[in-house]
Structures are given as structure tokens and as C-alpha cells.
Amino acid sequence: MRKGLIVTLVLSVMICVVAPVIMAKAAPVELTVYLPGDPPAKPDAVWDLINKELEREIGVSKVNFNFVPWSDLKAKLSVKLIAGEGDIFFDAPWNNLNQMLAKGAYAPLDALLQKYGGSVLKGMPQPYWDNNAAKLDGVTYGIPININIANYSVWGYRLDLAKKYGMKTPLKSLADLEQYLTLLAKNNPEMVPFTINNNSSIWHNYFRRQVAYGEMGPNAAMGYVLDQKTCKVLPFWEYPNFYKDLATIRRWYKAGLIEQDILSQKDDKALWAAGYLGILINDPGYSQTIHLPGVEIGGLKILTPPQKGFVDYAAWNFACIRKDSKNKVQAMKFLNWIHRSQANYDLLHYGISGKDWIPVGAHTFRYPEGYDPAVNYQFPWYVLGGDVIHHRLSADLSKEDLALTLECMDAKNFIPSRLAGFVFDAEPSKTEIAMCQVLEPKVQPYFDGVVDQSDGLAGVIQQYKDAGYLKIIAEMQKQADAFLASKH
């Protein structure tokens, strides 16, 4: 009797000790990822495959992708972070990144990257890691997401119309563009030749970039650094060719080449999509992204060659791991899995080969016949996992577009900005910035050619000076110089 009791006691103690260990080993690890946007259509087939591979390779039984609407991104993600849920988070400087870094909500990634994230490090060129905006006091907290070095924008124009008017295509200069617009205004009066959303202006988005590209200058303060040797901050009226370009825009406006109601235009993209616009700004890939059925799109690079644009290696989006997540190692292993091979990258971003996409060679792909984003899988690279070496280009890019896209993926086509990594702290000049922002609607008519520059531009510039604009410029110069000094 006593012996039986002792045996039972010993056995139960053993079970109590061993069981938790066994349970812990058997407990499946599930990762939760929070991303913005729309979930891909019918993702289960693809995600099941991913989960199977992850289970086999890194012991993660399931990855839960949770998509949050863009408009609610800030609110929802910050609540989840603070309440202690989720493992991998999308974040960005334009979202919550700076606040969350200050709060210490994300885990430091240096050790994890060194140990488990080799492929992650290889996926992005080293300057991206050096100028990582998700770094605080030298510690990395976020993985940059980008698929090229920088973007050269283009004047996207209707190649079919240019050919119809008998022009020599592709267009090669601003003079060609002017002729194209003139012919368009004459032959297709129902179309709008050229316009832009009223939250930007023609000088700012087009002509300014014709002179220099990627130059440092936060829009709020409108100060620009072009000369890499002196790193002098310029007010906008000292921008090279400023008055000459304004005169050109004014001439275009008077000739009817620019929409007369440009200051109230709200949606230039929709106008283009309906086939009523002659020129639309876009990025490499334009032959697909602003594609119109049955119509060829041409793109003249904004930036007069042979100049090169500046690049500051600042990614827009980042992937971060929550500080108190219990699955930090598995999260890093999952991120590493994405970048480890082309097959993994393809599976996550493009879906099942042959069904959702068709590989064309090693670096391009095509969508199959009858592709419908409402039904076929499509995972946006810019929310998770996009990297420079694995990203596939569309095989349907026009020759011109492909050349530009490849140009944007090669670092030797850009000049590294000396101010890469510099973030202007707007706090000391926030009053002046607020006062100058009030003046923006006053200066916009000049930037769009609606009002002649001889008619009051000098007065508006004086108003800027009175509002303390030059103080902002001086503050920017001071901070930039301090940044450059600290780099050496």
C-alpha cells in the first residue's frame, strides 16, 4: 500500500516536471504580422505553402498576416504595440516610427541580424543600413524596405498621340514636349494637355527637378541643397533657372498648354486614367502603372542628362519587431527566410508560379491571361519584404521604361548625397514654418503659370522674407553644417 503510494507520488512529480517541458517544445509558434492595405485576394493557397515551408525550416507553424486599412494604421498599430500583441510591425517615419522609437516599443535588431538575418542584410545595399532612419543612437530598430536605389520620375506622355501627330519619338527634350502639347491642344481640344493636382505645382514637381534631382529639401521649409561641395541651403528663388522656368511655364499657360483651371484640379491621375490628360508625372514602371488599354506610354526622364541625381538611401518603409515579443528569434528567421532565395521571395510576393504569375527569365515576370487582382494573389512589396536584389520587373515594360528602371537600380547612376541620413529638426523654426505655409497658396499661381511673375512675385518673395523664411534657411544651414561636422 505504502509502496504504491510512493510510486504514484514519484510518478506524478515526474509528470509535473517533464510535461511542461514537452508541452513547451510541442507548442507551435505562431507569428503575427501587422501590415497596411488590403489583404491579397484568396491568399490561403499561397499562405498554406509558406506555412508548410516555415514549419519545416524554422519551426514556425503559422504566420498571421493582419492587414489594417491605411487610414487607421496609426491608431490600430500603436494600440496593438502598447497592448503587447503582434510580432512584426510595419512602420515608417511618416507613420509612427519616430514616436515608437522614442517610446522604446521596438526591439534592437543588430544582434538578431548578425546571427539570424544574413540574407536580410544582403538584400539591401550597405548604404541603406548606414543611413537607416530606423536607427536611434546607433542601434538598428527597423529593416528598410525598398526595391531600387532611387527613382527618377518621368514626364509620362501619350506615345500614340505623339506618333499620330507625326513627331519623332521618343521625345527627347523640353522643346519636344512643348511641341507635343501644342499639337495636342490643337488636334484634341477635348483633352487637357497638362495639369497637376493643386497640392503641388508645375515648377515644384517638374521644372525644379529638371535641374537637379533628389536634392535635400524638406517641402515644409522649401530650402534646397544642390552643391555637394559647399552644402549651401538655398531659398527657392535662388534655385537655378528659377525665373527662366517660371517664364517658360507662363508661356505654356498663355498658349493654352496648361489647364486654365489648374489651381482647382484635384485628381490628375483620374483624368489620365480616363484618357483626357496629355502628360502625367510617374516613376519607373510607368509603362505598366499608368498604362491605358491599347495605348503606348512614353516617358521622358525628368533631369536633363548627363546630370545625375542625388540619393540619400532613405527608405520610406520599415519592418520592425516588437520589443517584448516572445518570438523575436522566429520573427527574424521568418524575415530572413523571405530574403534567402528567389523562390521564397517569389512565393510571398507573387504567389504560385504558373497560376498567379509566370516567370520570364531570372529577373522578370508576367501576369497570366485573365489575371484579375480581385481573384489572383498579389502581395505588395512595399509593406513587407521588398529588397533590391530579388525584386522582379514586369516583362511587359516598354524598352524605354526598362532602361530607366535598370538605371534606377544601379548605384553608379546616382551621386550619394553628403547629407544622407540628415533629418531636419523643424522644432526651433516651427513658428516661421507655419507662417510660411500660409503663404504657399499665394506663390502657387506663379509656379503654375497662372499669374505672370512681373505681377507681384517680388512682393510675395518679400512676404516670405518678412515671415522669417530666411531664418528657416539659416537654421537648416546650421543643422546641416553640424551634421557634416559630426560625420567627420
Partner 1 sequence: MHMRTHYRFSNLLLYMLAALIASACLLPFWMVVASSLTSEDSLIRHGYTLWPRQFSATAYHYIIAAGRIIRGYRISFAITIIGTFLSLLCTTALAYAALSRKWWWTRHISFFVLVTILFNGGMVPWYLVCTKILFLQDTLWALIIPYLVNPWFFFLARNYFKTLPEALMESARIDGATDMTIFTRIMLPMAVPMLAALGLFIALNYWNDWWLSLMLVEKDYLLPIQLLLRRMESNMTMLYQLASIPGMSNAQRPPAYGVRMATVVLTVGPIVFLYPFLQRFFITGITVGSIKG
Q: Between 132 and 378, whose beta carbon lies closer to partner 1?
A: 378
How many other CB atoms sit within 10 Å of the CB of residue 269?
13
Applying CB under 8 A, which of residues 193, 278, 284, 385 lies at the interface with partner 1? 284
**Does the protein bind partner 1 through residue 70 (CB under 8 A)?**
yes
Footprint of partner 1 on residues 285-304 (CB under 8 A)? 285-286, 288-293
How far is it, in rounded angstroms, from Cα 403 to Cα 32? 39
Strand pairing class (233-235; 309-311) = unpaired
The conformational region for residue 63 under phi > 0 = left, psi -120 to 50 = alpha, else beta, is beta
Quick one: DSSP state of residue 28?
Answer: P
Q: Between 271 and 476, whose beta carbon lies closer to partner 1?
A: 271
Scanning 61-69, 121-129, 247-255, 257-265 for contacts with partner 1 by CB under 8 A, the matching segment is 61-69
The C-alpha cell that represents 319 in the structure block:
519592418
**Does the protein bind partner 1 through residue 380 (CB under 8 A)?**
yes
Footprint of partner 1 on residues 390-409 (CB under 8 A)? 393-394
**Does the protein bind partner 1 through residue 95 (CB under 8 A)?**
no
How far is it, in rounded angstroms, from Cα 310 to Cα 111? 31
**Does the protein bind partner 1 through residue 359 (CB under 8 A)?**
no
CB 309 within 8 A of CB 284: no
Scanning 66-74, 167-175, 178-186, 447-455 for contacts with partner 1 by CB under 8 A, the matching segment is 66-74
The conformational region for residue 152 under phi > 0 = left, psi -120 to 50 = alpha, else beta, is beta
Beta strands (DSSP E) in 273-316 are: 277-282, 297-301, 309-311
**Does the protein bind partner 1 through residue 324 (CB under 8 A)?**
no
The C-alpha cell that represents 122 in the structure block:
544582403
**Does the protein bind partner 1 through residue 274 (CB under 8 A)?**
yes
Q: Between 353 and 431, whose beta carbon lies closer to partner 1?
A: 353
Contacts of 133 (CB under 8 A, 6+ apart): 93, 97, 142, 144, 314, 315, 318, 421, 423
| 372-394 CB burial, b ≥16 within 10 A, e <16 | eeeebbbbbbbbbbbbbebbbbb
Binding mask 103-142 for partner 1 (x = CB under 8 A): ----------------------------------------
**Does the protein bind partner 1 through residue 269 (CB under 8 A)?**
yes
Total residues at the site for partner 1 (CB under 8 A)? 48
How far is it, in rounded angstroms, from Cα 201 to Cα 194? 12
CB 113 within 8 A of CB 120: yes
Q: How far is the CB of 281 from partner 1 (least distance, A)?
A: 9
Scanning 104-112, 250-258, 276-284, 448-456 for contacts with partner 1 by CB under 8 A, the matching segment is 276-284
Give the up-direction half-sphere exposure of residue 448: CA atoms within 13 A in the CB hemisphere. 24
Contacts of 258 (CB under 8 A, 6+ apart): 193, 194, 195, 202, 249, 252, 448, 449
Q: How far is the CB of 195 from partner 1 (least distance, A)?
A: 13
Q: How far is the CB of 149 from partner 1 (least distance, A)?
A: 15
Q: How far is the CB of 484 from partner 1 (least distance, A)?
A: 30
How many other CB atoms sit within 10 Å of the CB of residue 117?
20
How far is it, in rounded angstroms, from Cα 314 to Cα 177? 32
How far is it, in rounded angstroms, from Cα 167 to Cα 130? 46
Binding mask 228-267 for partner 1 (x = CB under 8 A): ---------------------------------------x
Q: Between 40 and 449, whose beta carbon lies closer to partner 1?
A: 40
Q: Between 147 and 433, whose beta carbon lies closer to partner 1?
A: 147
Q: Between 190 and 427, whose beta carbon lies closer to partner 1?
A: 190
**Does the protein bind partner 1 through residue 74 (CB under 8 A)?**
no
Scanning 69-77, 220-228, 433-441, 447-455 for contacts with partner 1 by CB under 8 A, the matching segment is 69-77
Q: Between 147 and 183, whose beta carbon lies closer to partner 1?
A: 147
How far is it, in rounded angstroms, from Cα 253 to Cα 102? 48
Applying CB under 8 A, which of residues 49, 58, 66, 232 lies at the interface with partner 1? 66
Q: Counting beta carbons within 10 angstroms of the beta carbon of residue 426, is it exposed (0 to 12), middle (13 to 18) or buried (19 or more)? A: middle
Scanning 33-41, 109-117, 321-329, 338-346 for contacts with partner 1 by CB under 8 A, the matching segment is 33-41
**Does the protein bind partner 1 through residue 72 (CB under 8 A)?**
yes
**Interface positions with partner 1 (CB under 8 A):** 36-39, 64, 66, 68-72, 75-76, 79, 82-83, 85, 151, 267, 269-274, 276, 282-286, 288-293, 367, 371-374, 378, 380-382, 393-394
